[in-house]
Protein backbone atom coordinates (compact mmCIF):
# COMPACT_ATOMS: atom_id res chain seq x y z
CA UNK A 1 0.00 0.00 0.00
CA UNK A 2 1.15 3.54 -0.73
CA UNK A 3 0.32 4.48 2.87
CA UNK A 4 3.16 2.20 3.92
CA UNK A 5 5.58 3.71 1.41
CA UNK A 6 5.06 7.39 2.20
CA UNK A 7 2.51 7.72 5.01
CA UNK A 8 -0.67 9.80 4.81
CA UNK A 9 -0.14 12.84 7.03
CA UNK A 10 3.05 14.24 5.48
CA UNK A 11 4.61 17.59 6.35
CA UNK A 12 6.70 19.66 3.94
CA UNK A 13 9.21 20.47 6.67
CA UNK A 14 10.91 23.84 6.92
CA UNK A 15 14.67 23.81 7.40
CA UNK A 16 15.51 25.42 10.77
CA UNK A 17 18.37 27.89 10.46
CA UNK A 18 20.46 30.07 12.73
CA UNK A 19 20.50 33.87 12.23
CA UNK A 20 23.77 33.52 10.27
CA UNK A 21 22.04 31.17 7.80
CA UNK A 22 23.66 27.95 8.97
CA UNK A 23 21.57 24.88 9.70
CA UNK A 24 20.16 24.83 13.22
CA UNK A 25 20.69 21.37 14.67
CA UNK A 26 18.83 22.15 17.91
CA UNK A 27 16.00 23.59 15.84
CA UNK A 28 15.92 20.52 13.62
CA UNK A 29 15.65 18.11 16.55
CA UNK A 30 12.97 20.21 18.22
CA UNK A 31 10.95 20.43 15.03
CA UNK A 32 11.14 16.71 14.24
CA UNK A 33 10.14 15.91 17.83
CA UNK A 34 7.19 18.28 17.46
CA UNK A 35 6.09 16.74 14.15
CA UNK A 36 6.22 13.22 15.53
CA UNK A 37 4.35 14.25 18.68
CA UNK A 38 1.56 15.81 16.62
CA UNK A 39 0.87 12.81 14.42
CA UNK A 40 2.99 13.35 11.32
CA UNK A 41 3.84 10.02 9.69
CA UNK A 42 5.88 11.35 6.77
CA UNK A 43 8.46 14.13 6.69
CA UNK A 44 9.49 15.73 3.41
CA UNK A 45 13.04 17.00 3.81
CA UNK A 46 14.62 19.52 1.46
CA UNK A 47 11.53 20.29 -0.57
CA UNK A 48 10.38 23.73 -1.66
CA UNK A 49 9.30 24.64 1.88
CA UNK A 50 12.70 23.43 3.07
CA UNK A 51 14.31 26.10 0.84
CA UNK A 52 15.83 23.45 -1.42
CA UNK A 53 17.30 25.89 -3.97
CA UNK A 54 19.57 27.33 -1.26
CA UNK A 55 20.77 23.99 0.15
CA UNK A 56 24.08 22.51 -0.92
CA UNK A 57 24.31 18.84 -1.80
CA UNK A 58 26.14 18.23 1.49
CA UNK A 59 23.47 20.05 3.50
CA UNK A 60 20.68 18.14 1.76
CA UNK A 61 22.32 14.81 2.59
CA UNK A 62 23.01 15.92 6.16
CA UNK A 63 19.37 16.90 6.66
CA UNK A 64 18.14 13.54 5.38
CA UNK A 65 20.63 11.69 7.58
CA UNK A 66 19.68 13.68 10.67
CA UNK A 67 15.91 13.42 10.17
CA UNK A 68 16.15 9.72 9.33
CA UNK A 69 17.95 9.17 12.61
CA UNK A 70 15.45 11.22 14.62
CA UNK A 71 12.36 9.74 12.97
CA UNK A 72 13.53 6.13 12.65
CA UNK A 73 10.56 3.79 12.84
CA UNK A 74 8.14 6.65 13.57
CA UNK A 75 7.72 8.44 10.23
CA UNK A 76 8.81 7.99 6.65
CA UNK A 77 11.50 10.38 5.43
CA UNK A 78 10.98 11.63 1.88
CA UNK A 79 13.90 13.51 0.36
CA UNK A 80 13.37 16.33 -2.10
CA UNK A 81 15.91 15.66 -4.85
CA UNK A 82 14.51 17.42 -7.92
CA UNK A 83 16.42 20.15 -9.70
CA UNK A 84 16.42 21.55 -13.23
CA UNK A 85 19.44 19.33 -14.04
CA UNK A 86 18.96 15.59 -14.42
CA UNK A 87 22.53 14.66 -13.49
CA UNK A 88 22.30 16.72 -10.29
CA UNK A 89 18.94 15.17 -9.45
CA UNK A 90 20.32 11.66 -9.95
CA UNK A 91 23.28 12.48 -7.71
CA UNK A 92 21.02 13.89 -4.98
CA UNK A 93 18.76 10.83 -5.21
CA UNK A 94 21.69 8.47 -4.66
CA UNK A 95 22.99 10.59 -1.79
CA UNK A 96 19.53 10.62 -0.20
CA UNK A 97 19.29 6.84 -0.46
CA UNK A 98 22.70 6.48 1.19
CA UNK A 99 21.65 8.91 3.93
CA UNK A 100 18.64 6.79 4.88
CA UNK A 101 15.68 8.26 2.99
CA UNK A 102 12.58 6.09 2.60
CA UNK A 103 11.44 7.77 -0.61
CA UNK A 104 12.10 10.59 -3.05
CA UNK A 105 10.12 13.70 -3.98
CA UNK A 106 10.85 14.65 -7.60
CA UNK A 107 9.74 18.05 -8.86
CA UNK A 108 9.11 18.70 -12.52
CA UNK A 109 12.32 20.32 -13.87
CA UNK A 110 11.95 24.04 -13.37
CA UNK A 111 13.23 27.04 -15.35
CA UNK A 112 14.58 24.98 -18.28
CA UNK A 113 10.99 24.18 -19.37
CA UNK A 114 11.60 20.81 -21.09
CA UNK A 115 9.08 19.16 -23.37
CA UNK A 116 6.80 16.52 -21.88
CA UNK A 117 9.09 13.90 -23.43
CA UNK A 118 11.96 15.55 -21.57
CA UNK A 119 10.00 15.47 -18.32
CA UNK A 120 9.41 11.76 -18.79
CA UNK A 121 13.07 11.05 -19.54
CA UNK A 122 14.17 13.13 -16.53
CA UNK A 123 11.83 11.37 -14.10
CA UNK A 124 12.68 7.92 -15.41
CA UNK A 125 16.41 8.62 -15.04
CA UNK A 126 16.00 9.59 -11.40
CA UNK A 127 13.64 6.67 -10.66
CA UNK A 128 16.17 4.29 -12.24
CA UNK A 129 19.00 5.65 -10.07
CA UNK A 130 17.91 4.13 -6.73
CA UNK A 131 15.65 1.48 -5.27
CA UNK A 132 13.48 4.05 -3.49
CA UNK A 133 9.83 4.78 -4.32
CA UNK A 134 9.26 8.12 -6.03
CA UNK A 135 6.58 10.74 -5.48
CA UNK A 136 6.30 13.14 -8.41
CA UNK A 137 5.78 16.81 -7.58
CA UNK A 138 3.53 18.63 -10.04
CA UNK A 139 3.73 22.36 -9.28
CA UNK A 140 3.43 24.43 -12.46
CA UNK A 141 3.31 27.75 -10.58
CA UNK A 142 6.93 27.16 -9.54
CA UNK A 143 8.24 24.91 -12.29
CA UNK A 144 6.87 26.92 -15.19
CA UNK A 145 5.36 23.81 -16.79
CA UNK A 146 2.88 21.16 -15.69
CA UNK A 147 3.00 17.41 -15.91
CA UNK A 148 0.25 16.69 -18.40
CA UNK A 149 -2.16 13.81 -17.69
CA UNK A 150 -0.64 11.69 -20.47
CA UNK A 151 2.79 12.26 -18.90
CA UNK A 152 1.57 11.14 -15.49
CA UNK A 153 -0.04 8.04 -16.99
CA UNK A 154 3.19 7.16 -18.80
CA UNK A 155 5.32 7.69 -15.70
CA UNK A 156 2.93 5.53 -13.67
CA UNK A 157 4.16 2.57 -15.71
CA UNK A 158 7.55 2.81 -13.96
CA UNK A 159 7.61 0.37 -11.03
CA UNK A 160 9.13 2.89 -8.59
CA UNK A 161 7.01 5.93 -9.51
CA UNK A 162 4.15 5.46 -7.08
CA UNK A 163 2.59 8.80 -6.16
CA UNK A 164 2.00 12.46 -7.05
CA UNK A 165 2.16 15.51 -4.85
CA UNK A 166 -0.38 17.64 -6.68
CA UNK A 167 0.06 21.39 -6.31
CA UNK A 168 -1.70 22.05 -9.61
CA UNK A 169 -5.17 22.33 -8.12
CA UNK A 170 -7.09 20.75 -10.99
CA UNK A 171 -9.37 18.35 -9.14
CA UNK A 172 -11.02 16.97 -12.26
CA UNK A 173 -7.65 16.12 -13.76
CA UNK A 174 -6.55 14.48 -10.52
CA UNK A 175 -9.68 12.34 -10.39
CA UNK A 176 -9.23 11.41 -14.05
CA UNK A 177 -5.65 10.23 -13.49
CA UNK A 178 -6.64 8.44 -10.28
CA UNK A 179 -9.25 6.49 -12.24
CA UNK A 180 -6.76 5.38 -14.87
CA UNK A 181 -3.44 4.81 -13.10
CA UNK A 182 -2.15 3.20 -9.88
CA UNK A 183 -0.78 6.51 -8.62
CA UNK A 184 -1.55 7.72 -5.12
CA UNK A 185 -2.38 11.42 -4.93
CA UNK A 186 -1.26 13.72 -2.13
CA UNK A 187 -2.67 17.22 -1.87
CA UNK A 188 0.10 19.83 -2.02
CA UNK A 189 -2.18 22.85 -1.61
CA UNK A 190 -3.29 23.40 1.98
CA UNK A 191 -6.25 25.49 0.86
CA UNK A 192 -7.67 22.39 -0.92
CA UNK A 193 -6.89 19.61 1.55
CA UNK A 194 -10.51 18.66 2.19
CA UNK A 195 -11.69 18.53 -1.44
CA UNK A 196 -8.65 16.47 -2.45
CA UNK A 197 -9.19 13.99 0.37
CA UNK A 198 -12.87 13.78 -0.45
CA UNK A 199 -11.97 13.09 -4.09
CA UNK A 200 -9.81 10.10 -3.24
CA UNK A 201 -6.39 11.50 -2.32
CA UNK A 202 -4.30 9.18 -0.13
CA UNK A 203 -3.07 12.00 2.06
CA UNK A 204 -1.48 15.41 2.38
CA UNK A 205 1.92 17.01 1.96
CA UNK A 206 1.24 20.06 4.07
CA UNK A 207 3.10 23.26 4.87
CA UNK A 208 0.58 24.19 7.57
CA UNK A 209 1.26 20.76 9.06
CA UNK A 210 4.54 22.13 10.40
CA UNK A 211 2.35 23.78 13.02
CA UNK A 212 -0.80 21.64 13.25
CA UNK A 213 -0.09 18.13 11.99
CA UNK A 214 -2.55 16.89 14.62
CA UNK A 215 -5.41 18.82 13.01
CA UNK A 216 -4.46 17.44 9.59
CA UNK A 217 -4.47 13.95 11.09
CA UNK A 218 -7.98 14.57 12.40
CA UNK A 219 -9.09 15.83 8.98
CA UNK A 220 -7.75 12.72 7.23
CA UNK A 221 -9.38 10.49 9.82
CA UNK A 222 -12.75 12.22 9.50
CA UNK A 223 -12.77 11.83 5.71
CA UNK A 224 -11.74 8.17 5.93
CA UNK A 225 -14.50 7.57 8.47
CA UNK A 226 -17.02 9.15 6.11
CA UNK A 227 -17.78 11.97 8.56
CA UNK A 228 -17.93 14.87 6.12
CA UNK A 229 -19.49 17.22 8.67
CA UNK A 230 -16.63 16.74 11.11
CA UNK A 231 -14.14 17.22 8.27
CA UNK A 232 -15.82 20.48 7.28
CA UNK A 233 -15.63 21.74 10.86
CA UNK A 234 -11.90 20.98 11.04
CA UNK A 235 -11.23 22.63 7.68
CA UNK A 236 -13.20 25.72 8.71
CA UNK A 237 -11.25 25.97 11.96
CA UNK A 238 -7.99 25.80 10.01
CA UNK A 239 -8.88 28.51 7.49
CA UNK A 240 -7.34 31.47 9.43
CA UNK A 241 -4.04 29.63 9.91
CA UNK A 242 -3.98 28.44 6.29
CA UNK A 243 -4.59 32.02 5.17
CA UNK A 244 -1.82 33.34 7.44
CA UNK A 245 0.81 30.83 6.35
CA UNK A 246 -0.07 30.35 2.70
CA UNK A 247 -1.42 33.73 1.58
CA UNK A 248 0.04 36.45 3.81
CA UNK A 249 3.57 36.12 2.47
CA UNK A 250 5.28 32.85 1.49
CA UNK A 251 4.88 29.39 2.98
CA UNK A 252 8.40 28.79 4.27
CA UNK A 253 8.66 32.32 5.66
CA UNK A 254 5.36 32.24 7.50
CA UNK A 255 5.60 28.65 8.75
CA UNK A 256 8.94 29.49 10.34
CA UNK A 257 7.50 32.69 11.82
CA UNK A 258 4.64 30.77 13.47
CA UNK A 259 6.93 27.98 14.68
CA UNK A 260 9.34 30.51 16.21
CA UNK A 261 6.51 32.47 17.80
CA UNK A 262 5.27 29.28 19.43
CA UNK A 263 8.77 28.41 20.66
CA UNK A 264 9.06 25.23 18.62
CA UNK A 265 12.17 26.41 16.73
CA UNK A 266 14.56 29.06 18.10
CA UNK A 267 14.68 31.32 15.05
CA UNK A 268 12.53 32.22 12.03
CA UNK A 269 15.63 32.76 9.89
CA UNK A 270 15.50 32.10 6.15
CA UNK A 271 18.08 32.38 3.39
CA UNK A 272 18.05 34.99 0.66
CA UNK A 273 16.27 35.55 -1.61
CA UNK A 274 13.64 34.90 1.08
CA UNK A 275 13.38 37.54 3.80
CA UNK A 276 12.24 36.87 7.35
CA UNK A 277 8.71 37.89 8.23
CA UNK A 278 8.34 41.34 9.79
CA UNK A 279 6.66 41.77 13.15
CA UNK A 280 3.54 43.33 11.69
Residue 137 domain-assigned (yes or no): yes
Residue 268 domain-assigned (yes or no): no
- Determine which one of 137, 185, 186, 196 is catalytic: 137
Q: List helix spans (H) across 112-192.
A: 116-129, 140-143, 149-155, 171-180
Residue 272 domain-assigned (yes or no): no
Residue 279 domain-assigned (yes or no): no
Q: What is the pTM (predicted TM-score) of this model? A: 0.96
Q: Domain of 165?
A: 2-261
Residue 277 domain-assigned (yes or no): no
Is 76 in the active site?
A: no
- Determine which one of 76, 84, 110, 165 is catalytic: 165
In eight-state DSSP terms, residue 49 is T
* CATH number of domain containing 252: 3.20.20.70
Is 29 in the active site?
A: no
Residue 122 domain-assigned (yes or no): yes
Number of compact structural domains in the chain: 1
Q: What is the b/e burial string over 207-235, where b = at least 16 CB atoms within 10 angstroms of the residue's CB? A: bbbbbbbebbbbbbbbbeeeeeeebeebb
Residue 250 domain-assigned (yes or no): yes
Residue 273 domain-assigned (yes or no): no
Per-residue pLDDT in tens (0 to 9) along the chain, 280 residues: 566 799 999 999 999 999 999 999 999 999 999 999 999 999 999 999 999 999 999 999 999 999 999 999 899 999 999 999 999 999 999 999 999 999 999 999 999 899 999 999 999 999 999 999 999 999 999 999 999 999 999 999 999 999 999 999 999 999 999 999 999 999 999 999 999 999 999 999 999 999 999 999 999 999 999 999 999 999 999 999 999 999 999 999 999 999 999 999 999 999 999 999 987 6
Amino acid sequence: MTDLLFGTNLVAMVTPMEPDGSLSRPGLKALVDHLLATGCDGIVVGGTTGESPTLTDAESAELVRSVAGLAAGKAKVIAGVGTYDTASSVRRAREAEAAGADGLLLVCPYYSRPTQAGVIAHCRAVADATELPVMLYDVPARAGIAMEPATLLTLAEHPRIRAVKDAKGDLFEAMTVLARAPLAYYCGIDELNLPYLASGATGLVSVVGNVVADRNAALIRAVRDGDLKAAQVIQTELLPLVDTIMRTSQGAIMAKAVLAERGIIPHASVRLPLIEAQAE
